[in-house]
Chains A and B, each alone.
Chain A
Amino acid sequence: MQKIAALMRQKAQELLSSGQVQQVAAWRKGQLAYDNAPAVFTSPEACADLVYDEFCPANLSKYLLAATKKKLKTAVFLKPCDTYGVNQLLKDNRVQREYVYAIGTPCQGMLDIKKIRAHGLKGITRITVSEGVVQVETVYGTQNLPQRDVLLDKCLQCKGNAYMIADTEIGEKLATPEPRGDAFAAVKRIEALPPEERFKFWQQELSKCIRCNACRDICPACSCEQCIFDNPAAPVAGKAFADPVEENMFHLIRAYHVAGRCVGCGECARVCPQGVKLGLLNLKFMKDINTFYGPYQAGSDATTPAPQVTFTQGDVEPSAAGQKGRS
């Protein structure tokens, strides 16, 4: 990964000094060994701070919204899963292709610091990954953990190492984590519950929400000029506030709004400070879309319209949807 990081710095500097792009979206070092943050670099000198390792999970595609607004040609480093988000933003006309310079960036799975800490590790100073083993150096000594045990949940649903959009690629593609079994297994478990239990499950899950809006802000499918929840003139916003468990409405409406746009990047669940199982809600919609209209992956290109906004003879009849949705 260090080699890749060096190549990225070099590329970023090249692009900025040649004037090919006006800014570069990447990651910079945080205060700790595992809290890298997204950053925008505007000069070749600043690129010295550019880092890349297993703690760069953030999908940078949404920075392109501002880039388009400001008409700044922006190079963006995209892990394979992040490329779906860019395509979705292009499809939704929220990002203009002329302002995007997409750089495919290899990834072998990002790590979850919570899972590492859960092994009782404190005072972490350095974390490195080599051939499936995560070496955690702490002030108290060094410990090795199997990489698969501490991967982010979203990486366990990895869609592979192919870039859906890339103007250029950095280094060689890496082997991405093998996806874990049936992606919809958890959805099927919830679907099998009796309605009251299912309701209780979601009520419990969603009532953890503190409405920080992190899920919405990171989501490449949530790209409206003004979110309906921020629009007092839209009566929906009032609904969400009036409901006794207002978050229910917020998350349910949001799930409907991103249905067919959600690329399954898993960022919503990752950034949720309350650990709400948001990805599960989106997976339910994805499963239904696949069942009703045939396999569909949002963001695999920038042109194919979502099945809900296209009409074919093969589409499921609305009356059958209720039945089929539970199967």
Chain B
Amino acid sequence: MQKIGVFVCWCGSNIATTVDVAQVVAAVKTIPNVAFAADYKYMCSEGGQELIHKAVQDYQLDRIVVCSCSPRMHEATFRNCAEQVGINPYLVEIANIREQCSWIIKDRAQATAKAIQLAKAAIAKVRFNTPLTPGESKVVKRALVIGGGIAGIQAALDIAEAGYKVDIVERQPAIGGRMAQLDKTFPTLDCSACILTPKMMDAANHPNIKLYTYSEVEAVSGFVGNFEVKIRQKARSVDAKRCTGCGICTEKCPSRKTSSEFELGLKTRGAIYIPFSQALPKVPVIDREHCLKFQTGKCGICSKVCPAECIDYTQQDEIITEHYGAIVAATGFDLLPLDKFGEYGYQDSPDVITSLEFERLTNATGPTEGHLVCPSTGKEPKSVIIVSCVGSRDTSGRGKTYCSKICCMYNAKQAMYIREKYPQIDVTVFYIDVRTPGKAFDEFYRRAVEEFNVHYIKGQVGKVLKDARGGLTVFASDLLSDKHLMLHADMVILATAVKPAAGARKLATMLTASMDNDDFFTEAHPKLRPVESPTAGIFLAGMCQGPKDIPETVSQAGAAAVKVVGLLAKDKLRTNPCVAHCQENICSGCLACEKVCPYGAITAETKTVINLAGVKEQRTVAVVNQTLCQGCGACTVACPAAAMDLKGFSNQEILAEVDALC
């Protein structure tokens, strides 16, 4: 006969104030198979655990129910406690009488009645619990970082420094990402390239880091500890091993009309190009779509001028298959396209630019070599207006509802930069709110206002029009003085909303990592597991998880790296034994389970099974990969025959709980 021990916790006053714990103990004592029941002030404390140990020995208990806080809090504690006295940890059930009872019910009688019900349900379930043993799976000691921006570089460097091999996949021809495009960085105003380039060099030269640039992840299979990833290394048409990066080919290329991606269309480039001067690797790539040789068959100048003879027009895309124990998604961000925001005149005037374009205009390596000029005239502007929240905090449905977080600070940075270098230029910032929490952030903003005399006007810009003099007329409202304004500007900078980089969703699908409605990767827990995806072995760094600035991105990348290192440091992983399994003799092979499985853990296999009549037959049945399965239970509800069941949460256990409640 089963002997169940029930342990009711007071949680100090958290439970005991609203739940009559003595009454709960008295009630459960009357339930068959309950051999022992007691209450204690803090069951999770050493004293509480000793109470459990003693009761197990004195009453030969074989199953334990703890009525306490959420299992998320102390299930592991009580499972360990049980294991110490020889009870399988999976023969422990938690009845959550705190979060689901005492904290939400004020009436003592009502709370006590509910606590008894929850205890009864847990007792009903524990009767059917079976001992479970975690399995093991090996860990491949190599990590993959997807994205070669500052997030990816930092994560890779930290993993590599800890002694593990790590590969970076970057789809652009060079690493560096968005940070490489920036001029200065807030709040200290150091030059972006000056602090990024050494990190890029470190990553490129680190013996543990391998760069796959101009490459994309093509497919991901496997599971935590052993992902198999196919990487498509796109054909550069240049032999990277022999290329010296001299750049003669890029200078001699006769096709010059393609707009430069790195310069955000503010400059053109050749068909063979190196994206930017500090690019790593410094190996050009041929944009075949715009190359005369590829399009017409004539030209081939780059090949003729190359002193290292490394131009290879026949190069093919290469598929590399590699195994990884952990994956970091660090895919960064794009700016929101402004085609739905006609009022700002971005499409009509070259002098209306995004903040990122402004970064290029003020950057010494940019199209104007750092001279701030209006793109339309090439002349210095006399007045600049900066518009905040373009597409951010948008409730019209055209933009994004979230705050892009970085804009307030870079608005102040850009305004200050203009005022410092060109004191004659008048700078006005329109804002809804100025949000500057962060170390030395508000001081930075105040400096823009107080020392650099940047005009901050609370209000939104309604319209930007080209005026007859070739400048811009900006219609706006000043909410504090309740006035409509019509201002002249030579340049308007739009602090445009950020959004996850194109292709993030496709990648999330491959990784079976979840995303929110804005296509940001979601965390396993928004507060307590912020750098992990709910999918085991997938970690998050940088903007792909949500808007954040460089210091936050670097911190998150470091945190993700630590999680990766923690995983790779293990030789084997204990797998969660609460996984689905298929009773093959009654599986019909309809594979509804396979289709609903979010982890790709179920596959169809044609195999010999013994059918219900006891006869061997060949049939298609569902097979669960126990390592991939995360125990979500979607398959068990999809299965009409109940052939699919979840260990630790079997249909029988759940229905017993339900029966005890109703």
A contact residues vs B (CB 8 Å cutoff): 69, 92-94, 223-228, 231, 233-236, 239, 257, 305-306, 308-310
Contacts and interface: CB of A to CB of B under 8 A. Distances in A.
Contact of A235 (B620, B638, B655): B655
Contact of A69 (B595, B617, B651): B617
B598 to A, nearest CB: 9
A228 B612 contact: no
Contact of A309 (B596, B611, B652): B596
B376 to A, nearest CB: 40
Nearest to B612: A226
Given A69-B617, A257-B640, A309-B638, A224 B588 contact: yes
Contacts of B611: 225
26 contacts: A92-B589, A93-B588, A93-B589, A93-B590, A93-B604, A94-B588, A223-B588, A224-B586, A224-B640, A224-B641, A225-B586, A225-B611, A225-B641, A225-B643, A226-B585, A226-B612, A227-B641, A228-B640, A228-B641, A234-B642, A235-B651, A235-B655, A235-B656, A306-B592, A309-B595, A310-B595
A236 B643 CA distance: 12
Given A225-B611, A228-B640, A94 B651 contact: no
B652 A231 contact: no
Interface string B640-662: 11110000000110011000000
A306 B651 CA distance: 24
Nearest to B589: A93
Given A235-B651, A305-B595, A309-B595, A225 B642 contact: no
Which of B596, B640, B655 has the most CB atoms of chain A within a 10 A radius of its CB? B640
A232 B620 CA distance: 24
A224 B643 CA distance: 10
B591 interface: yes
Contacts of A228: 640-642
B641 A239 contact: no
6 A-B pairs with the lowest CB-CB distances in the bound complex, closest first = A309-B595, A257-B640, A92-B590, A224-B641, A93-B589, A235-B655
Given A225-B612, A309-B595, A310-B595, A94 B641 contact: no
Contacts of A225: 585-588, 611-612, 641, 643
Interface in B591-631: 591-592, 595-596, 604, 611-612, 617, 620
B18 to A, nearest CB: 30
Contacts of A224: 586, 588, 590, 640-641
A235 B656 CA distance: 9
B652 A235 contact: yes
B560 to A, nearest CB: 27
Chain B, interface size category, equals 20 to 34
A236 B642 contact: yes
Contacts of B640: 224, 228, 257
Contacts of B655: 235-236, 239
A305 B652 CA distance: 29
Is chain B's binding surface mostly helix, strand, loop or mixed?
loop
Contacts of A305: 595
A207 B214 CA distance: 68
Given A225-B611, A226-B612, A309-B596, 10 more contacts: A92-B589, A93-B590, A224-B590, A228-B641, A228-B642, A231-B641, A234-B642, A234-B651, A236-B642, A308-B638
Contacts of B612: 225-226
A309 B640 CA distance: 13
A310 B592 CA distance: 9
Which of B585, B596, B656 has the most CB atoms of chain A within a 10 A radius of its CB? B596
Nearest to A256: B640
A94 B641 CA distance: 13
A224 B620 CA distance: 13
A184 to B, nearest CB: 24
Contacts of B643: 225
A239 B596 CA distance: 26
A94 B586 contact: no
A234 B641 CA distance: 8
A296 to B, nearest CB: 14
A305 B585 CA distance: 24
Given A69-B617, A225-B585, A236-B651, A231 B592 contact: no
A239 B654 CA distance: 13
A223 B642 CA distance: 13
Nearest to B594: A309
Contacts of B604: 93
Contacts of B651: 234-236
A92 B592 CA distance: 8
Contacts of B588: 92-94, 223-225
A256 B640 CA distance: 9
A226 B592 CA distance: 16
A236 B642 CA distance: 9
A239 B641 CA distance: 15
B375 to A, nearest CB: 38
Contacts of B589: 92-94
A248 to B, nearest CB: 15
A226 B586 contact: yes
Contacts of B591: 93
A236 B656 CA distance: 11
B595 to A, nearest CB: 4
A227 B639 CA distance: 11
Contact of B592 (A223, A234, A235, A309): A309
B219 to A, nearest CB: 19
A230 B163 CA distance: 58
Which of B617, B641, B652, B656 has the most CB atoms of chain A within a 10 A radius of its CB? B641
Nearest to A239: B655
A308 B637 CA distance: 11
Nearest to B642: A234
A310 B641 CA distance: 19
B602 to A, nearest CB: 12
A56 to B, nearest CB: 28
A231 B585 CA distance: 12
Nearest to B634: A309
Given A225-B587, A225-B612, A309-B592, A93 B641 contact: no
A93 B621 CA distance: 9
A181 to B, nearest CB: 32
Contacts of A239: 655
Interface string B552-586: 00000000000000000000000000000000011
